[in-house]
Amino acid sequence: MQLLQQKKLQKNAPEKKKIPLHWLFLPLLAHAGWGIYPVLARYLQTKEKLPSMSLLITGNGAVSIVAFLIVIKRRRFFTILKLKILPLLVFVTIVRVVTNLLSPKFTMAVNVQLMTLMSPLIVAVMNTAFLKEKLPPYTPHSIFFCTLGSVLMLLSSIIPFRLSVSSLDWVGIALAFASAVFLASYMVLVKKTLSDNPIKGEELLFFLTFPL
């Protein structure tokens, strides 16, 4: 009888949806691009001597064109333009992108990435502070250990009473940290905008890339 009941329960149980492999590949690709970006940005600015603003325009130009076509096709241009939060969102995006682009020019890419990877932890704190969402379990512990690990890696080449980090390195690290904070602010603002208004992320993208 127990075997029959178990079989019935298995038949009535909802089937688990299988995630296609290509959807698992996309986040891996995105994360790889996120890791390569500081290295490539530093190489192009320091070795190839490409102007920072030229890189900015080139990178955002293509995205703006695609996003503009999406907005026009869906006839959402003026709807999004009327959003009160849009100027703040644009300002945060501009500061985040500029600081992210300039930081590898002053310090090593690994230092930039250490600061950038703190963004998810900053997002968790901002969500709690501004959106009143509960922190996931053990988040404070994660923030503490990640911050400690970043500091130790940055200061791993300490000479007694002297740091081997130059003043320009500190400028780059400060810019990278500011970029991480503004990236977290961007994520929180985008989440609030999309939840409060009947628009989609790809429609908002044009207004965030075109000003750059």
Query: Among candidates 36, 43, 187, 48, which has minimal Cα distance to 113?
Result: 36
For residue 19, is it within any domain?
A: no
Domain of 161, in residue numbers: 26-209
For residue 17, is it within any domain?
A: no
- Cα separation, 48 vs 51, in Å, equals 9
For residue 150, is it within any domain?
A: yes
For residue 181, is it within any domain?
A: yes
Residue-level pLDDT at 112: 82
Mean pLDDT of 121-150: 80
Burial class of 69 by CB neighbour count within 10 A (0 to 12, 13 to 18, 19+): exposed
Question: Who has greater pLDDT, 99 or 18?
Answer: 99
For residue 16, is it within any domain?
A: no
For residue 57, is it within any domain?
A: yes
SS3 93: helix
Q: How far is CA 109 from CA 42, 65, 75, 95, 189, in A?
A: 7, 29, 41, 19, 27
pTM (two decimals): 0.71
- Total tally of structural domains belonging to the chain: 1
- Give the other-Cβ count within 10 Å of 45's Cβ: 19
Task: Summarize pLDDT for 73-121 with one digit per residue, the tens.
Answer: 888 888 888 888 888 988 998 898 889 888 888 888 777 877 887 887 8
For residue 9, is it within any domain?
A: no
For residue 3, is it within any domain?
A: no
DSSP 8-state class, residue 167: H
